Chains A and B, each alone.
Chain A
Amino acid sequence: DAMVIQNPRYQVTQFGKPVTLSCSQTLNHNVMYWYQQKSSQAPKLLFHYYDKDFNNEADTPDNFQSRRPNTSFCFLDIRSPGLGDAAMYLCATSSAGPRNSPLHFGNGTRLTVT
Chain B
Amino acid sequence: GENVEQHPSTLSVQEGDSAVIKCTYSDSASNYFPWYKQELGKGPQLIIDIRSNVGEKKDQRIAVTLNKTAKHFSLHITETQPEDSAVYFCAASVLRGGKLIFGQGTELSVKP
State yes or no: do A and B come from one complex.
Answer: no
| Chain B interfacial positions (CB closer than 8 Å to A) | none
